[in-house]
Structure 1
Amino acid sequence: MDAFQAVVLAAIQGLTEFLPISSSGHLVLPQTLLGWEDQGLAFDVAVHVGSLVAVLWFFRRDVCNLLLAWGSSICGKGHDQDSKLAWYVIIATLPAILAGLVFNDLIETHLRSGYVLAMTTLVWGVVLGAVDRFASHRRQITDIGLGIALFIGFSQALALVPGTSRSGITITAALLVGLNRSDAARFSFLLSMPIIAAAGSYKLLELVQSDTHIAWTYLSIGFVVSAVTAYFCIRVFMNWVERIGMMPFAIYRVILAGIIFAVLAW
């Protein structure tokens, strides 16, 4: 990997991590079309930490309010809307963590193919478009209860399959139960924080236990570029999501799937 590749791959990661368009679907293209090597475990950790920093900074007020309210509920001071939402984020994270522990090796062995990637990119793109078109969009984030949180949480576990897109599947699930687009995206982004932190910690543990040489220059580039691009991506998406809806992303996923299929057949 050189500096140019580090910038490109980190920008792809930052731009696609939080949009419902599948980061894995995009990262496979430079490797396949340009023959670039896999970015490696250390770089993967760096760009994930960058994405995490970006979403934490964008939602810093929400995070502070949720943590304070959650802490108060732990201390027996009762529940308010923020403490309930904090608990729902925690509860909704558990299915994906458990699924990752149980099925990670199976997925790595049998579902890391280009055709699986292309098919899931296509199928979930169509589902996203259909749900966005026909869902009610009437509920707000304050209407989330335990059942809705678990439903979105179990949907997040499906993102372990390449091409599904974590943000895509959680936004789709949130829209399906009637949340408006802004609150569906907001809950998806809040839900991303613990799962990205858990995945990053797991990868970091693997990195510490390995003998991998660490190229700190490229890791620094990856961290900074991923953080900056992810932050502006979240900012633009949250400002525009109610106006543009999810249909452009659904159409884009279908086109991307076609490109991946074409690349595989080439």
Structure 2
Amino acid sequence: MHFFEAIILGLVQGLTEFLPVSSSAHLRILGELLPGAEDPGAAFTAITQIGTEAAVVVFFWRDIVRIIGQWFRSLVGKAPRNDPDARMGWLIIIGSIPIVVLGLLFQDQIETVFRSMWIVAIMLIVFGVLLGIADMVGAKRRELKDLTVGHGVAFGFAQALALVPGVSRSGGTITMGLFLGYKRADAARYAFLLAIPAVFGSGFYQLFKSWDVQGPFSLPETLVATVIAFAVALGVIAFFMNWISKRSFLPFVIYRIALGTVLIVLLSMGVLQP
């Protein structure tokens, strides 16, 4: 593989990481379709995900600094424990626990069985349908100030489902938020903030674990893909937050179902291998 493939994968990573369409599913599919039909590798995926998550840090920088600052102040008694930002800090920590525990428990399955293209196709369709239902029936009245510990845990388990390619980290978390009655923008904002420790943690862990593993991409190619993923993701976050404040998730639901269906057809015909 060369710079062209790395650029394409970086572009797709940036485009799909925060849309509810599953970036891991798209990278898994592209790994089969691009010249050489090769898995990009754990190190490449980990580094490019760090790039896209850095876009979240830049976009929500003021929120993150305020939350961290108030959380630390509440620990030393300089801010009330029920301060909204300090409380959000705790809710992000609590919501991150499920993905850490389940990621460690099912690490082998995540890297083998769950990467089957059949599972990817089914998850794209199933969670696309669930997102559509949640968007239709959700009350959309609650805001982040209404977030409880129980809801934080529920969001966390929904995020953990994204360990299976095809589910979508943002899609699964936002779907849970809609079912719990949160507004689209509030569910998305918490989903993005909740992803920060999970993605950075798993990204640096995978990077450390696979540092000496020879992958299909060189370091310069990987860095180019990461920069592209960061730049594209920054624009996608701005677009997505603006979109959901005015419109529904229906286009993403239709896209997921269509992509999953096409994938099943290609697998059935033997064009793609599971």
- TM-score for the superposition, normalised by structure 1: 0.96
Alignment partners' CA distance in 1, 2:206 and 2:128: 28
Alignment partners' CA distance in 1, 2:43 and 2:166: 22
Is the aligned partner of 1:224 residue 2:200?
no
Alignment partners' CA distance in 2, 1:182 and 1:104: 32
Deviation at 1:211, TM superposition (A): 4.2
State the AA in 2 paired with 1:19: L
1:175 maps to what in 2? Answer: 178
Write out aligned runs for 1:168-207 (5 A): 168-207=171-210
Which range is displaced more, 106-115 or 215-224? 106-115
State the AA in 1 paired with 2:193: L
Deviations 1:87-131 (A, max 9, x none): 101100011011000111123332221111100110000000001
Number of residue pairs the alignment of both structures matches? 265
Q: Which structure dedicates a bigger proportion of its chain to helix? A: 1
Aligned pair in 2 of structure 1 residues 2, 207: CA closer, same or farther (>3 Å)?
same
Is the aligned partner of 1:212 residue 2:227?
no
Match of 1:151 among 132, 154, 162: 154
- Look up the SS of the partner of 1:111 in the other structure: helix
The answer to whether the 8 A contact 2:17-2:233 is kept is yes
State the AA in 1 paired with 2:43: A
- TM-score for the superposition, normalised by structure 2: 0.93
Write out aligned runs for 1:215-254 (5 A): 215-254=218-257
The answer to whether the 8 A contact 1:122-1:253 is kept is yes
Deviations 1:208-236 (A, max 9, x none): 3x343672210211110010011100010
Q: RMSD over aligned Cα, in angstroms?
A: 1.4
Misfit runs of 4+, over 4 Å:
none
Is the aligned partner of 1:103 residue 2:103?
no
State the AA in 2 paired with 1:29: I
State the AA in 2 paired with 1:27: L
Aligned-pair identity (%): 40
Is the aligned partner of 1:115 residue 2:112?
no
Deviations 1:186-222 (A, max 9, x none): 00000110110111121122123x3436722102111
Alignment partners' CA distance in 1, 2:16 and 2:213: 30
State the AA in 1 paired with 2:14: G
Which range is displaced more, 102-111 or 175-184? 102-111
Alignment partners' CA distance in 2, 1:205 and 1:224: 20
Deviations 1:231-263 (A, max 9, x none): 100010001112122111111110110121122
- Look up the SS of the partner of 2:245 in the other structure: helix
Alignment partners' CA distance in 2, 1:191 and 1:29: 26
- Look up the SS of the partner of 2:38 in the other structure: coil
Alignment partners' CA distance in 2, 1:75 and 1:197: 26
1:8 maps to what in 2? Answer: 8
Structure 1: which 5+ residue stretches go unaligned? none
- Look up the SS of the partner of 1:19 in the other structure: coil
Aligned pair in 2 of structure 1 residues 211, 171: CA closer, same or farther (>3 Å)?
closer
Is the aligned partner of 1:85 residue 2:81?
no
Structure 2: which 5+ residue stretches go unaligned? 270-274
The answer to whether the 8 A contact 1:43-1:218 is kept is no
